[in-house]
Amino acid sequence: MKKFINKILIATLLVLFLACGDKTANVSDEAGASVQPIETYNWKMTTTWPPNFPVLGEVANKYAEWVEDMSDGQLKIKVYGGGELVPSLEAFDAVSNGTVEMGSGAAYYWAGKTPAAQFFAAVPFGMNSQQVTSWLESGGGMELWRKTYAKFNLIPYMGGNTGVQMGGWFNKEINSVNDFKGLKMRMPGIAGKVLEKAGGTAVLVAGGEIYTSLERGVIDATEWIGPYHDHKMGFHKIAKYYYTPGWHEPGTQLEFFVNKDKHDALPKHLQAVLDAASKRAQVWVLSEFDNQNGIFLDKLKGEGVEIREFSKETLDVLRGYTKTAVQEMVGNDPLSKEVYESYSAYQTRVSKWSKLTEQAYYNKIQK
């Protein structure tokens, strides 16, 4: 009976120490052995998305839930939308300098920090979601991503992929590449350089500011994602023409990024939890986009939106501008050259298989 009471007392003391958050205190069992309370970690995540934004913000929330569940509460992450903790496009710096433990966004937002980052978000006429995931996971892409972020004291993780996007909303018809001349368009990343070669002006606007910018004429056109988000953003109410395909973002990769010092201070099993949760996010985001975009495409059509297609001639010219823009970029930055050579070689190899299988299936079987 005495032993039983002693065990109850020890367990009670252990719970009290944990509840008080004492990470250094220890309790001795009846044999005199030291019992260390489990250390807990409380992190913050800042995102580039508006608070609780569908899919993009949601996956940040889900990631935090998955991490807490898988770590049995040992690692907790509180998520802040863009502007709640730091401005949306300052997330990279906030995590880099350790003000915040981790962030969520898309790598092309950090082109001003390192041009090579853009290859880990979207490449015009590049790989789709399946191919990008394959490159990152099995083709050496993740190692290069980590190398790119290392000098900023950051570790990147996959955070989902949007799949092929729509081509954007315009206040005028785009019948040829000449119609891009003088056009002010929200267009991030490498595609922004392509737009400029076509005579337009690329404007980087955070997601929460796009509608107002388009409504007030700050921009003449915008790309965003696809029917689900575009409908929720209300673009169909202020722009007449909706174009496909999304040549500029054929498989946009999203990201989580973690301060390296904070990451390295975690036990190995919690580092593994961060990685495992990112893989789950990669699957969930694309699944949710495919599901919702199909639903909201019908909604947009039901509300009178007419889908237009860029002409082949327009796309061919844009493809040529893309090659020029990329070559200029990699010629001025050795790291960009290294990343692009890996990306391009992988796309060439995997596309041979895709053309033989998926493309043939879409063209000849699926209607």
CB atoms within 10 A of CB 96: 20
Q: Say yes or no: 194 and 108 in one domain.
A: no
**pTM here?**
0.86
What is the DSSP pairing of strand 201-203 with strand 241-244? Answer: unpaired
Q: Say yes or no: 172 and 158 in one domain.
A: no
Q: Say yes or no: 55 and 131 in one domain.
A: yes
Query: Over the stretch 334-350, which tens digit does the pLDDT of each residue have?
Result: 999 999 999 999 999 99
Asked whether residue 25 is domain-assigned, the answer is no
pLDDT along the chain (367 residues), means of 10: 40 39 43 69 96 94 98 98 94 98 96 95 96 98 98 98 97 96 93 96 85 93 95 94 96 98 98 98 98 97 95 97 95 95 97 93 84
Smallest CA-to-CA distance from 178 within 157, 203, 197, 206 is with 197
Task: Quote the CA–CA distance of 82 and 88 in Å, as a whole number.
Answer: 4
Task: Quote the CA–CA distance of 156 and 148 in Å, as a whole number.
Answer: 9
The tokens of 120 are what? 């880990």
Asked whether residue 356 is domain-assigned, the answer is no
Asked whether residue 327 is domain-assigned, the answer is yes
Looking at residue 38, its pLDDT comes to 87
Q: Say yes or no: 256 and 246 in one domain.
A: no
Peptide bond into 245 cis (omega under 30): yes
Looking at residue 10, its pLDDT comes to 39
Q: Say yes or no: 56 and 114 in one domain.
A: yes
Q: Say yes or no: 212 and 104 in one domain.
A: no
* 8 Å CB contact between 50 and 208: yes
Asked whether residue 86 is domain-assigned, the answer is yes
Q: Say yes or no: 146 and 199 in one domain.
A: no
Asked whether residue 213 is domain-assigned, the answer is yes
User: How would you write 214-256 as a 3-class SS string?
Assistant: HHCCCCCEECCCCHHHHHHHCHHHCCCEEEECCCCCCCCEEEE
Task: Quote the CA–CA distance of 44 and 251 in Å, as a whole number.
Answer: 28
Host domain of residue 266: 41-164+252-290
Q: Say yes or no: 130 and 157 in one domain.
A: yes
Smallest CA-to-CA distance from 354 within 70, 180, 127 is with 127
Q: Say yes or no: 77 and 139 in one domain.
A: yes
Q: Say yes or no: 81 and 150 in one domain.
A: yes
Asked whether residue 135 is domain-assigned, the answer is yes
Asked whether residue 366 is domain-assigned, the answer is no
Sign (positive or negative) of CA dihedral 223, 186, 252, 197: positive
Asked whether residue 8 is domain-assigned, the answer is no
Query: Over the stretch 91-126, which tens digit does the pLDDT of each residue have?
Result: 999 999 999 999 999 999 999 999 999 999 999 999
Looking at residue 206, its pLDDT comes to 77
- What is the DSSP code (8-state) at residue 35? E
Smallest CA-to-CA distance from 148 within 184, 116, 177 is with 116
Domain count, the chain: 2
CATH classification of the domain holding 313: 3.40.190.10
Q: Say yes or no: 181 and 58 in one domain.
A: no
Q: Say yes or no: 104 and 210 in one domain.
A: no
CATH classification of the domain holding 258: 3.40.190.170
